[in-house]
């Protein structure tokens, strides 16, 4: 495994670009690991409706950055007191949605520091029933990355106010708010330390050495990373998209994640379609949405349009019939 040192750049658009560049263009036979921190930032999942995930006035007032990542899952708030990790490797066919494989080295490192961490639910790391890490994945062309947050000492009051949280998600967990659901790692350390010390200890624990092998980015690498930063992660259309004026909205939370359809109809046919959610899939849901265009908005027509579609590739472990039930209940 080789370490990618981002030199503690706090621009998350650049960090995402570095992560994507490593995934797509560095040696496919190597596994890479990186840490990154960021200035106050909301990050939404690939399939989410950005405008419905953020508290707009609060975000503007506090100059919070808003970005979209390539991976699925839900929206998160990070600041300089969060540190995220990413592992970039081959997709062996058994690793996508196998969060245990990628979180276990981190969990073991946390336990050495006195933090009673464990993997919980789909993709969270928890301590005493409270979340300290959310994880997500992205796969393409035989490669994948699995990345996650580590809420070292994040300002939880900012987290709670910055996100426009869907109450259904927390009602389903039997809790009243984001604040009651999360905690910080620093509260649980056997010995207090700052985030840079924490980062170094984790790094040496994960690599099992103090002599960390590093990849040296070339000038050409950096040019391409900057292109990705500008063309994707600093692109308004990528972050916010062009949401249709939906005349029909369907939303439901499944065990594998929340799915939301926003549809515009013209003379009973689907004219525009966008699919949002915090689900995990290997395929791009925009392809599935495109199959709806021109369809009559009736179950038989949609079922026919999706006749040869494996919806689990788009939404994870959710049956096609369950999605149709949601659309036409």
For residue range 302-313, what is the model confidence (pLDDT) as tens digits? 999 999 999 999
How confident is the model over 270-284, as a mean pLDDT? 93
Q: What is the pLDDT of residue 180?
A: 54
Residue 170 pLDDT: 45
Task: Quote the Cα angle for 324-94-127, to 5°.
Answer: 85
Predicted pLDDT at 177: 43
Binned at pLDDT 50, 70 and 90, residue 267 comes out as confident
pLDDT of residue 33: 98
Kindly write down the DSSP assignment for every residue of 202-263, as one continuous string: HHHHHHTSSS--B----HHHHHHHHHHIIIIIT-HHHHH------SEEEEEEETTEEEEEEE
**pLDDT category, 315, cuts 50, 70, 90?**
very high
Q: How many CA atoms lie within 13 A of 115 on its CB side?
A: 30
pLDDT at 178: 55
pLDDT greater than 80 at residue 108: yes
Mean pLDDT of the chain: 91
Q: Assign 243 a pLDDT band (cuts: 50, 70, 90).
A: low
Which residues have a Cβ under 8 Å from the Cβ of 25 and sit 6 or more positions away? Answer: 221, 224
DSSP 8-state class, residue 11: -
- Under 8 Å between Cβ of 313 and 283: yes
Say what the pLDDT of residue 209 is: 96
Assess whether pLDDT exceeds 90 at residue 241: no
**223 φ, ψ (degrees, to nearest 5):** -65, -45
Q: What is the mean pLDDT of residues 123-134?
A: 95
pLDDT higher for 329 or 267?
267
Name the burial class of residue 210, with classes exposed (0-12), middle (13-18) and buried (19+) by CB atoms within 10 angstroms of its CB: exposed
Give the mean pLDDT of 252-279. Answer: 92
Question: Is the pLDDT score of 173 beyond 70?
Answer: no
Residue 290 has pLDDT above 50, yes or no: yes
Q: Residue 169 has what pLDDT?
A: 54
- For the cut 50, the answer to whether the pLDDT of residue 172 exceeds it is no
Q: Average pLDDT of 158-179? A: 62
Confidence band (pLDDT; 50, 70, 90) for 245?
A: low
pLDDT at 120: 92
Does residue 14 register a pLDDT over 60?
Answer: yes
Confidence category of residue 247, pLDDT binned at 50, 70, 90: confident
Alpha-carbon span 72 to 50, nearest angstrom: 13
- Please check the confidence at residue 300 and state whether its pLDDT lies above 50: yes
Whether the pLDDT of residue 171 is over 80: the answer is no
Express as a percent the part of the chain with pLDDT over 70: 94
**Residue 265 confidence (pLDDT) above 50:** yes
- Give pLDDT, residue 95: 86
For residues 74-80, give the mean pLDDT.
94
């Amino acid at each position: 495994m080789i370490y990618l040192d981002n030199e503690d750049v706090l621009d998350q658009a650049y960090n995402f670009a570095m992560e994507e560049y490593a995934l797509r263009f560095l040696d496919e036979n190597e596994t890479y690991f990186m840490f990154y921190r960021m200035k106050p930032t909301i990050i939404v999942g690939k399939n989410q409706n950005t405008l419905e995930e953020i508290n707009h006035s609060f975000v503007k007032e506090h100059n919070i950055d808003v970005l979209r990542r390539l991976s699925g899952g839900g929206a998160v708030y990070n600041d300089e007191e969060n540190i995220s990790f990413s592992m970039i490797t081959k997709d062996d066919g058994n690793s996508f949605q196998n969060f245990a494989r990628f979180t276990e080295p981190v969990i073991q490192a946390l336990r050495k520091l006195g933090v009673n961490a464990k993997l919980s639910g789909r993709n969270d790391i928890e301590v005493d029933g409270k979340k300290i890490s959310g994880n997500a994945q992205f796969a393409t062309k035989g490669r994948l990355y699995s990345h996650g947050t580590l809420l070292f000492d994040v300002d939880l009051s900012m987290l709670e106010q910055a996100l426009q949280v869907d109450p259904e998600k927390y009602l389903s967990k039997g809790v009243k708010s984001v604040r009651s659901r999360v905690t910080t790692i620093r509260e649980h350390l056997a010995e207090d330390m700052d985030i840079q010390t924490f980062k170094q200890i984790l790094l040496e624990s994960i690599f099992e050495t103090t002599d960390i092998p590093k990849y040296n980015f070339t000038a050409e690498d950096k040019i391409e990373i900057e292109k990705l930063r500008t063309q994707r992660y600093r692109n308004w259309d990528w972050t916010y998209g062009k949401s249709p004026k939906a005349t029909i909205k369907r939303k439901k939370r499944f065990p594998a994640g929340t799915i939301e359809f926003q549809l515009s109809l013209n003379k009973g046919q689907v004219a525009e379609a966008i699919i949002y959610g915090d689900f995990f899939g290997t395929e791009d849901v925009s392809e599935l949405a495109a199959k709806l265009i021109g369809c009559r908005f009736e179950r038989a027509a949609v079922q026919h349009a999706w006749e040869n579609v494996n919806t689990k590739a788009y939404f994870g472990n959710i049956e096609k019939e369950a999605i149709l039930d949601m659309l036409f209940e």
